[in-house]
Amino acid sequence: GEDEAGPRRLRAAAMAGFVRELERRAGPALRLEQRAAGGVGCVVWDAALVLAKFLETGACPLARRHVLELGAGTGAVGIMAATLGANVTVTDLEELQELLMVNIENNKHLVTGSVRAKVLKWGEDVTEFQPPPDYILMADCIYYEESLEPLLKTLKDLTGPDTCVLCCYEQRTMGKNPEIERKYFELLQMDFELEQIPLDRHDEEYRSEDIHILTIHRKRAVGPR
């Protein structure tokens, strides 16, 4: 009856977490649900905002390109890419799929490319994500030492010679963060070329001195001498 619908609605609202609006240069804002509690707390981190807004500057042409987001979380960056015409697969662990689906559904009227969510566990088989995407997007993916090796394996397995990886991260000075960062970039440089995108090319409003965007490409194979 009517009486139990009330509490049920309230419970649903409590589960839904809170919505973050992300303004867009052209057209209505993205509405991104976040989860504050439960197994996986998931909010739109600053690095995701900076990367999403950088995509809007048009520095990297996304229309009709194949784009894969790693560690997508709320899906903010990937969904933004889809509003810019890209064909996007946002990936994260099983427990984040529901949140990704909700956010895809809530913003699908703004998408001019396409966007879908899939499970991708770093270090595992990536056959179903082949051929290599044109772009791989990563916002704030480096914070656990244990995940460095699996993440690097996934990057190596996913990138082709023409794949451009856009990696945005907030430089953190607390605890083990600097050490983990240093190790990550050292390992990365064995197989990849890294280049920092200067701050003045970031979105003029969504930028910060301690948030960096790098473009990462596979090193060109050197033929026999």
Q: Are 113 and 88 in contact (CB under 8 A)?
A: yes
pLDDT score recorded for residue 174: 86
Are 86 and 62 in contact by the 8 Å Cβ rule? The answer is: yes
Does residue 6 contact residue 13 with C-beta atoms inside 8 Å? no
Closest CA to 46 of 73, 24, 79, 25: 73
167-177 pLDDT, tens digit per residue, is 999 998 888 88
Answer whether 43's CB lies under 8 Å from 147's CB. Answer: no
First to last CA, the chain: 79
pLDDT at 159 over 70: yes
pTM above 0.85, yes or no: yes
Domains of the chain: 4-218 (3.40.50.150)
Sheet (strand 192-196) strand order = 114-119, 87-92, 66-70, 135-139, 164-170, 211-218, 192-196
